[in-house]
């Protein structure tokens, strides 16, 4: 049986990469959306879907309000959150609010595909390593001088998030994010946030 999955994310590369991995074996058929209003429209027109995956900071979400709207729209079928920078607290709040699961974008591809099948089957999924705060592997040479918070901010830069979006996701003040960005540029010897993100990508930082 083919699983019908809606994946909503405002970053084309992330959305299409996840779609490609999920559709590879022919067992799933994914439909894309780039913001919450578009996702809700697709659910209303073509749903309910076996699983809806929502990016936590895409346009229209307003935090967990978007999750609630999608859960109501999808007729009782599973809705999960996917994010590259959300904290463990956000993940816990999402699960408490009725999300079927939480997927960090750093999840290995095989784990992501298995997690999607789990959630589509109605099983709650959240990586134990992420939820316990033990998911950070031994620091690479590149990241050994970066604090945990700086790594979170850097992941936001890699995803081309604005300071405001990163601040909202990490539950910090925007001015604090600006300071972290400035520090990151200094530590990475980058002229600006874009160059910092490029340096991090080239180093294999995720």
Token digits of residue 191: 């002229």
In this structure, the answer to whether residues 153 and 182 fall within a common structural domain is: yes
In this structure, the answer to whether residues 71 and 120 fall within a common structural domain is: yes
In this structure, the answer to whether residues 121 and 168 fall within a common structural domain is: no
Q: Is 161 part of any domain? A: yes
In this structure, the answer to whether residues 75 and 122 fall within a common structural domain is: yes
pLDDT digits (tens, 9 = 90+) for 78-113: 999 998 776 777 888 889 999 999 988 777 777 888
How many domains is the chain partitioned into structurally?
Answer: 2
Q: Residue 191 is part of a domain; what is its CATH number?
A: 1.10.10.10
Q: Is 165 part of any domain? A: yes
pLDDT value at residue 139: 52
Q: Using an 8 Å Cβ cutoff, are 205 and 140 in contact?
A: yes
- Each residue's pLDDT expressed in tens, for the chain with a length of 206 residues: 788 999 999 888 778 888 888 888 788 889 999 999 999 999 999 989 999 999 988 888 887 889 999 999 999 899 999 987 767 778 888 899 999 999 887 777 778 888 888 898 889 998 876 766 654 444 566 777 888 888 889 888 888 889 998 888 888 889 999 999 999 999 888 899 999 888 887 776 75
In this structure, the answer to whether residues 40 and 118 fall within a common structural domain is: yes
In this structure, the answer to whether residues 12 and 98 fall within a common structural domain is: yes
CA–CA distance, 100 with 123 (Å, rounded to integer): 7
Q: Using an 8 Å Cβ cutoff, are 32 and 7 in contact?
A: yes
In this structure, the answer to whether residues 153 and 92 fall within a common structural domain is: no
Return phi, psi of residue 9, to 5°: -155, 140
Domain that holds residue 49: 3-131
pLDDT value at residue 48: 94
In this structure, the answer to whether residues 109 and 197 fall within a common structural domain is: no
In this structure, the answer to whether residues 42 and 119 fall within a common structural domain is: yes
Task: Give pTM, 2 decimals.
Answer: 0.65
In this structure, the answer to whether residues 88 and 125 fall within a common structural domain is: yes
pLDDT value at residue 34: 92
How much is the mean pLDDT over the chain? 85
Q: Is 141 part of any domain? A: no
Half-sphere exposure of 92 (CA within 13 A, CB side): 8
DSSP string, 73-108: HTTT--EEEEESS--HHHHHHHHHTT-SBEEETTS-
What beta strand segments (E) does 1-94 contain?
3-8, 28-33, 51-55, 79-83
Q: Residue 83 is part of a domain; what is its CATH number?
A: 3.40.50.2300
Token digits of residue 120: 């589509």
**Which positions ≥6 away from 173 have C-beta within 8 Å?**
167
In this structure, the answer to whether residues 24 and 100 fall within a common structural domain is: yes
Q: Using an 8 Å Cβ cutoff, are 153 and 177 in contact?
A: yes
In this structure, the answer to whether residues 125 and 152 fall within a common structural domain is: no
Last residue of a domain, one of 100, 131, 162: 131
């Amino acid at each position: 049986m083919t699983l019908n999955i809606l994946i909503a994310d405002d970053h084309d590369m992330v959305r299409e990469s996840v779609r490609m991995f999920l559709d590879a074996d022919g067992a799933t058929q994914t439909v894309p959306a780039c913001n919450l209003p578009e996702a809700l429209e697709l659910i209303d027109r073509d749903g309910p879907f076996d699983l809806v995956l929502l990016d936590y900071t895409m346009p229209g979400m307003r935090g967990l309000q978007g999750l609630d709207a999608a859960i109501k729209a999808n007729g009782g079928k599973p809705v999960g959150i996917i994010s590259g920078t959300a904290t463990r607290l956000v993940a816990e709040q999402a699960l408490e609010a009725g999300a079927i699961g939480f997927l960090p974008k750093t999840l290995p591809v095989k784990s992501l595909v298995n997690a999607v099948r789990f959630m589509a089957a109605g099983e709650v999924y959240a990586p134990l390593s992420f939820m316990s705060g033990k998911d950070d592997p031994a620091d690479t040479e590149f990241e050994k001088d970066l604090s945990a918070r700086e790594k979170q901010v850097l992941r936001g830069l890699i995803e081309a998030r604005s300071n405001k979006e990163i601040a909202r996701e990490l539950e910090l003040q925007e001015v604090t994010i600006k300071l972290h960005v400035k520090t990151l540029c200094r530590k990475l010897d980058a002229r600006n946030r874009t160059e910092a993100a490029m340096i991090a990508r080239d180093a294999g930082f995720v």
